[in-house]
Every structure is written in C-alpha cells, then in structure tokens.
Structure 1
Amino acid sequence: MDTLFSMKDVIAILKKSILWIASFAVGGLAVAALTVYLLITPMFATSTQILVSQTSEDENAVSQNAEVQANLQLVNTYRVLITSPRVLKEVEKQTGGIYSVPELTEKFAVTTEQDSQVMNITVTDSNPEVAAKIANETATAFKKITPKVMKVDNINILSEADGSKGADAVSPKPWLMMLIGFIGGGLLGVCIAFMRNLLHSTFKEEEDLEDLGVPLLGSIGKLPTYNSNDCKEKGESHEK
C-alpha cells in the first residue's frame, strides 16, 4: 500500500523547510512573550488559614473523638458560610467597597486538607496587597459572624495573608506560555512545510519525475552565464 509520504520524504521536506519551521517557532515565541508581558494582567494569590472547633469540657477520649468527627462534617458548611453574602457584605464594608459581593465571590477559593479542620482562604487579585486585605478581612468577618449563626465558640486565625509586593504571580506562567508559543509556532511551520510540498505543482529535479513513475526523455542543461568583462576579453582575443 502506497503512503502519502515515506520517511525519506518526511526527512527531506523537514531539511528543505528548516528555515521556515525555525522562523515560525521564533515567531510563536515572540507572540507569546508579547502577549504575556503586554496584554495579560498578572494575578497574585494570598492565603490565610483558620481553624474552627468546638471546645468540650468532657475529658472522655471517645466524646472528644466524636466532637472532632462532628467538626469535620461541618467543614463544608463553614466553607459555604465563608463565601455567603452575609460574610462578604462585611468584607465589602471593611475593604472600602473595592469590589461588590458578586465580584468578591469570584475571587475566593476555600480549600481544606483531607480529614482536617483547618481551612485555607485564598484570594486572587491583580494587586497582592488588595488580595491579602480581602483574605484577612474575610477571616475576621467569619470569626465575628459564625458564632451568631452556629453554635461554634472556638475560631482561630492560624496565619494571616501576606501582601508584600515581592510576591510571585500565580498567572500567567511566562516560561510555560513562551514554551507553548515556541512549540506551537514550530508545529505550524511543519504543517505549512508539508502543505507547500503537497500543493507544489512544478518539477525541479529528476527525482520528482521518478517518484511519479514517469520516464525521463531528456533534459536541458543550464547555459553558462558570462558577464560583460568576459565578453570583451573574448572579443579582443578573437580580433588579435
């Protein structure tokens, strides 16, 4: 069964189009770099940790273990409460109304470790100081409001978010984006190289006819070229 391209053809096409492929790869790298540094706003993420538990006066180990299990089952409820309008309205007020409640909701990510009562409140924003302020105010608002709506008497803020300007951006990833642009540009160059070969309708070498199984009847040699100085010298030699 005949194939469209043999391995020999593939290697030959790649060698012949290496400059095309390289130029497209460099072009993709340049486009990705310009997009990352000029068009995309970097985003920063800061986190604060809180621990929610209920104090028990019963020193019985079985009772304390049951209390821990009950607290673990309530973690999902706490996560919903953190991003509830009641808490976020307080955050909106304390942060000076920088963002509305719906906008704040999109900036939150509340996560917990497996079988842990510790919750991580992560806020993402283009300004790391604003992200840290929102995260810390959320933890404070949660600690203030939760005892009013649930029977919880022990909420501790384990760590506060740090909004230092030296924080690293979580998105975009410049090197990853540029690597994708470089590889994508190179693949585009390879595709164009093969398309050019498929759409190529002229014959420049004898091998082009041999690949089609067409016999070669003859060939025209390339005529030598002369410059004007050579012609003058030959004319003068004939006169002599």
Structure 2
Amino acid sequence: MESTMTIKDIFDVLKKNVLIILGIMIVCMGAAFCYFKWFVDPKYEAVSQILITQNAQNQNSAVQNSEIQANIQMVNTYSVVIKSSKILGDAVERLGDGTTMGDLAKKITVDSVQSSLVINIRVTDKDPERAKLLVKTVTTSFLSITPKMMKVNNIEQLTDIYSVASVGASLKVGVALAMMIGLFIGIVVSFLRRFLDDRFRTEAEITKRLDVPVVGVIGNIEDSEFQEKSRYRRRSRK
C-alpha cells in the first residue's frame, strides 16, 4: 500500500464514506440530546453582592490605605460568616419550607474579586426562582445578624437586584460538541476502512500501489452469460 495519500485520495475516501460519517454524527448527536434532555438537570445561579464600606472619612492617605487593607482582610472573615450555622440557621427559619442547613450550605458559594471590597454570594438550584429566593434570604440574614454579632456597621447590599443565569450543561453546546466528536470518529473510521482494505478495484490502483505494470485483465463473467453458455454446451452435447 502506498505510504502517502494525495488530497484527491483523501476526498475520495471521505466521499465514499460520507454515509458512515453522517450516520455516526447523527448517532452521537442523538445520544447527547437524550442524555442532556433526560439525565442532566438544569442549574441556575443567583448572585447577590455585599459591599464593605469605609468608616473613616479622613483625608490622610495613610489612614485611608490602612482602612482599605483592613476592610479587604475583613472580606475573608465575612465570607466564612456567611456560611456559618448562625446565618444559615436564620435563613432556614425565614424560608420555613423544610430546607435544612446542610442542603442550603451545599448550594452556597462565596467569593470576592481579588483586592476588592465586594463579596459575591452565589446560590445554585434547579429552579431559577428558587435560587433567587435562597440568595435573597441568605443575604437578608447576613445583613441583619452580622452588624450586631461583630459590632460593625460597614456592610451593605450593593444592589437589591438579584441576577440569575443558567450555569448547567447547555443542550445546544452538548449536541454541537457531540456533532464534532461524531465527525471526528466518522473520519477516523473512514480512513481505518481505507487503510485496512487491501483489495484492488481498478488497474490504476494496482499500478499505483504495487508499482508494477498490468499485463492482463480477466473480465467478469455475468451470471446470465454463464448460464447461457452452459445451456449452449448442453444442447451441443445432445
């Protein structure tokens, strides 16, 4: 078999196996659609933002700098406080729907942008409205309990608008990815079939792949022609 393939050979392989490629792509896309449709639950994330404000209004830059650094350090403390049993317990009582602190804790993540005074409270749930309710309740509990508990008055909600976005696996993205995977598998299978097939189909193939001249060709005998000759021989014998 030849060690190299021309662009024409590649296109010939793809053309001959186009149905196989399309079939594998359709199977992969169908499998991905079924998986994302029936086995993957949608997830939505609601976000609330808390701002750590500055108490000092001193114009001295050194004092302001110190104040900012202290507040940045407080961000880490507040991030832990938000997921504490005191805050979550109060939030569970406010919800009053049987939600446990354990379930609520699993749905909450807290983060902040590096060197910023903003804390992001994120809650993930299958229902976007439920996610919004949970993050709103946790935020309310944090703002009502923390000032008294830590003797501070430098925290406030940045905005009372709770953004909700889908964060789960996307059906469209999953099907598109499956299509690309199916295309890749189909192309691989096509070339495997080509490289594992040692049959010769044309004289040109023999000359090209073996680098030897063709000295003769045995034609195919059709069944009808063979049967006709057999009947002719039997009549001749009679």
Q: Classify the TM-score, shorter chain.
A: 0.7 to 0.9
- Greater alpha carbon shift after TM alignment, 13-22 vs 24-33: 24-33
Specify the code of the residue in structure 1 equivalent to 2:184: L
TM-score, scaled relative to structure 1: 0.78
Match of 2:184 in 1: 187
SS at match of 2:92: helix
Match of 2:60 in 1: 61
SS at match of 2:166: coil
1:24/1:189 contact within 8 Å kept? yes
1:136/1:161 contact within 8 Å kept? no
Alpha-carbon displacement from aligned partner over 1:72-101 (angstroms, at most 9, x marks no partner)? 122122112212233223223322355433
Alpha-carbon displacement from aligned partner over 1:29-85 (angstroms, at most 9, x marks no partner)? 2322232223221111111111233534x6343334422221012212211221223
Alpha-carbon displacement from aligned partner over 1:191-220 (angstroms, at most 9, x marks no partner)? 111121233243322344331345534322
For structure 1, the 5+ residue unaligned runs are 232-240
Q: For residues 74 and 147 of structure 1, what CA distance do their matches in structure 2 show?
A: 13
Q: For residues 64 and 122 of structure 1, what CA distance do their matches in structure 2 show?
A: 30
Match of 1:236 in 2: none
| Aligned residue runs from structure 1 range 106-145, under 5 A | 106-145=106-145
**Percent identity among equivalent residues?**
31
Match of 1:79 in 2: 79
Specify the code of the residue in structure 2 equivalent to 1:197: R
| Aligned residue runs from structure 1 range 1-240, under 5 A | 3=3, 5-53=5-53, 55-56=55-56, 59-62=58-61, 63-96=63-96, 98-160=98-160, 162=162, 169-210=166-207, 211-213=209-211, 215-223=213-221
Specify the code of the residue in structure 2 equivalent to 1:93: E
Count of residues in Structure 1 that have an aligned counterpart in Structure 2? 223
Specify the code of the residue in structure 2 equivalent to 1:190: I
2:136/2:162 contact within 8 Å kept? no
1:53/1:152 contact within 8 Å kept? no
Q: For residues 32 and 24 of structure 2, what CA distance do their matches in structure 1 show?
A: 12
1:52/1:155 contact within 8 Å kept? yes
Q: For residues 91 and 60 of structure 1, what CA distance do their matches in structure 2 show?
A: 39
Deviation at 1:122, TM superposition (A): 1.4
Deviation above 4 Å: which 4+ runs of structure 1? 4-8, 223-227
TM-score, scaled relative to structure 2: 0.78
- CA change 1:48–1:213 in 2 (3 A) is same
- CA change 1:42–1:90 in 2 (3 A) is same
Q: For residues 128 and 73 of structure 2, what CA distance do their matches in structure 1 show?
A: 33
SS at match of 1:90: helix
Q: For residues 188 and 11 of structure 2, what CA distance do their matches in structure 1 show?
A: 14
Q: For residues 20 and 86 of structure 2, what CA distance do their matches in structure 1 show?
A: 59
- CA change 1:107–1:221 in 2 (3 A) is same
For structure 2, the 5+ residue unaligned runs are 229-238
